[in-house]
A = this chain, B = another copy of it.
């Protein structure tokens, strides 16, 4: 049988070489070729090498569809997200997809709103593709899927989304992240630290407020007023900054629940002639660089390490797929504070 040369281009059709071509060229059985290529079985180094050379000469690419059929694994994962906007999903997806690529696993993206209809469509597609597992991610840690997951017969992990009882999930450690950010301000000598954050209905807002509270009390200080629950927007940061200043006594620092609020606060202060950080230090949350780097001065902010969240979730999912025991529950992953100038750190 003539080799099917992989670069052959007849009638626009590209014929890939198969393991049979490799076996024929190396003059071994298909069985041996398979084992040589996969590093399984025992055989002489010479044989293994001969097979590998043949594969390489033919530019052989194993067909993972065929492999998947017999091994009952597709080496694919599904990623479901409702964060069309991409603020959270793309970093998670990038970390996940990079970690998976190293292990020969590819990730199907299913972006869109979490509407029951489209969700079912996408889940159905992933079931038909026989994905080995599912990563479900969102844009807030207290909202999950709006539908009950049908019994899927595959492992699922949640990232930055609420998960049902007994599931494996990964979220940032909001409380400690907030605590560390506020500790940092305290370490820089700030004593009157206010907190402006998103809506009370968001769990993340409450956790960050708790971290703020705990840092302040841990240092033997009084919280500067109550946490101000508002909305996650610049406009609200702007308005709340005005309200805070008009209320009378000034804080010497504000820990903001996200970068957009921090941005609004800084803009308001600029127009009021309040200097950041000299008069009031500001720290944000998200480390969303288009915002954090664009404020004047650049914003110190908490980085949730979303790529790592995606990576960790993917690795846990792979373990589950391999049948290894994985502890259920919520994993709170550590965040890091990215220090820029808005917090008043001395530059060297």
User: Which chain A residues have a beta carbon within 8 Å of chain B's beta carbons?
Assistant: 7, 9, 12-14, 16, 61-66, 68-69, 74-76, 79, 84-87, 89-91, 93-94, 97-98, 101-102, 104, 106-112, 118, 121-122, 124-130, 151-154, 233-235, 260, 263-264, 267, 270-271, 289-290, 294, 323
Q: Is the CB of B14 within 8 A of A129?
A: no
Q: Is the CB of B111 within 8 A of A97?
A: yes
**In the complex, A64→B127 CA distance in Å?**
9
**In the complex, A124→B234 CA distance in Å?**
43
Q: Is the CB of A93 within 8 A of B122?
A: no
**In the complex, A107→B107 CA distance in Å?**
8
**In the complex, A63→B74 CA distance in Å?**
11
Point out the residues of chain B lying under 8 angstroms from A104, CB to CB: 125, 128
**In the complex, A176→B283 CA distance in Å?**
42
Show 26 residue pairs from A and B whose CB-CB distance is below 8 angstroms, ordered by the A residue.
A7-B151, A14-B152, A62-B128, A63-B69, A63-B130, A65-B65, A65-B69, A65-B130, A75-B129, A84-B91, A86-B87, A86-B89, A89-B90, A90-B111, A93-B109, A97-B109, A97-B111, A98-B118, A101-B121, A104-B128, A108-B108, A233-B294, A260-B290, A260-B294, A263-B294, A271-B271
Q: Is the CB of B89 within 8 A of A118?
A: no
Contact of A85 among B90, B234, B264 (CB under 8 A): B90
Contact of A108 among B109, B111, B153, B264 (CB under 8 A): B109
Q: Is the CB of A111 within 8 A of B130?
A: no
Chain B residue nearest to A86 in the complex (CB): B90
Point out the residues of chain B lying under 8 angstroms from A151, CB to CB: 7, 9, 14
Q: Is the CB of A126 within 8 A of B153?
A: no
**In the complex, A128→B16 CA distance in Å?**
11
Q: Is the CB of B101 within 8 A of A125?
A: yes
10 A-B pairs with least C-beta separation: A14-B153, A86-B90, A109-B109, A86-B86, A94-B111, A234-B294, A64-B128, A106-B108, A61-B127, A65-B68
**In the complex, A153→B63 CA distance in Å?**
14
Contact of A129 among B76, B87, B126, B127 (CB under 8 A): B76
- Count chain B CB atoms within 10 A of each CB in A9, A64, A84, A109 and give the residue with the most: A109
Q: Is the CB of A91 within 8 A of B86?
A: yes
**In the complex, A287→B316 CA distance in Å?**
38
Point out the residues of chain B lying under 8 angstroms from A106, CB to CB: 108, 110, 125-126, 129
Point out the residues of chain B lying under 8 angstroms from A65, CB to CB: 65, 68-69, 74, 129-130
Smallest distance from the beta carbon of A219 to chain B beta carbons, Å?
A: 34
Chain B residue nearest to A63 in the complex (CB): B130
**In the complex, A125→B62 CA distance in Å?**
10
Smallest distance from the beta carbon of A49 to chain B beta carbons, Å?
A: 21
Point out the residues of chain B lying under 8 angstroms from A128, CB to CB: 61-64, 104
Kindly list 8 other residue pairs between chains A and B, CB separation below 8 angstroms, not including A84-B91, A97-B112, A101-B110: A7-B151, A65-B65, A86-B87, A90-B90, A90-B111, A107-B109, A108-B108, A260-B294
**In the complex, A128→B37 CA distance in Å?**
14
Q: Is the CB of A79 within 8 A of B109?
A: yes
- Count chain B CB atoms within 10 A of each CB in A16, A86, A107, A130 and give the residue with the most: A86
